[in-house]
Amino acid sequence: MASAGTRILRAVVSVPFLLIAAWCLSIMDPDTIVAFQKPFADSGVIEWDGGKLTILKNFHGIKFLDDIFTGGMATFSPSTLGYDPVAWWQIFSFLTDLGPVYAIWILESYRVGYAYTPAYFPSVFTVAAQFLGIGSVGPILYFLSLTFGPTASDLARMPARDRSVWNRGSGLVLLLIFLFHTSEVFAMCLAPELTTRHYWTWAWQMSPLYIGLANTLLFGLTKPLLSKLGIASPKGLLIVAGIISAGVWGYTLLFSPYSLPTIFIPSSEVPSEFIPFVQK
């Protein structure tokens, strides 16, 4: 494996990832988010011009999580409830794209060279991203992957089977991501009833944890079956995830009444109101 000197050098050249994480966290501005969330959390009601919705209580049955995500319901509400249509288009595309990201993170963790390094536990980072934003957390995972993961020389010395990102038991990954992430995102954004969208927004908050736990727990039970089915390549998994993501992107291009800059490029101004802040 790589020497200490090589790892230090890789850490130095990977520092830009940490700078990106810090910049994203500053843009997220958690203190301002909490301040905007507080009136909604205190009243237990999300209200906007033309409608209102009562926030579900005790969804997880764990006070710590329910308290945190009660405010999160307010932050997601302009998008998922659709009273800010620009934010709806933005979040539908963005959250769908997380499916392939989760798949890649999990598959990469299967490389032998990643075993028991910080990058070996992708679910830690996907769960953290639910609290801090994937823009703040993802670059930290990439920094750790480059610093502690196998180098090209390390991979070249390994047997071919150990260089692969594929594990026969990981045939479950696509199913779990579709079940606990993609389908819930579609329900959050497309369900005809706003109360249904609200329910699935709650359910989605802990989906990264459910994906990781289910993938780990079910691996041993399904490995013999998956081996018999001959699932030996990650290409099919990533193609399906990519088709879903590309389909939503194509839908956005064809049917959104807003330009792509309007949807995806934030204003340079510092927003002082709730909806513009959520958009940014």
Higher pLDDT, 85 or 115: 85
pLDDT for residue 228 is more than 60: no
pLDDT digits 0-9 by tens, 62-80? 888 898 899 889 999 999 9
Q: Which long-range contacts (CB under 8 A, 24 or more apart) does 92-96 make?
A: 92/185, 92/189, 92/248, 92/252, 93/248, 93/249, 93/252, 93/263, 95/185, 95/188, 95/189, 96/182, 96/185, 96/186, 96/244, 96/245, 96/248
The SS3 assignment for 231 reads coil
Confidence of residue 154 (pLDDT cuts 50, 70, 90): confident
Average pLDDT, stretch 151-157? 81
How much is the pLDDT for 249?
95
For the beta carbon of residue 123, count every other beta carbon within 10 angstroms: 19
State the amino acid at position 199 in one-letter form.
Answer: Y
Could you tell me the pTM of the whole model? 0.88
Mean pLDDT of the chain: 87
What are the phi and psi torsion angles at 70 (to 5°)?
Answer: -60, -45
Instruction: Name the strand (E) or helix (H) holding 46.
Output: strand 45-48
Confidence of residue 9 (pLDDT cuts 50, 70, 90): very high
Confidence of residue 97 (pLDDT cuts 50, 70, 90): very high
Average pLDDT, stretch 194-209? 96
pLDDT for residue 254 is more than 80: yes
pLDDT for residue 180 is more than 90: yes
Q: What percent of the chain has pLDDT over 70?
A: 91
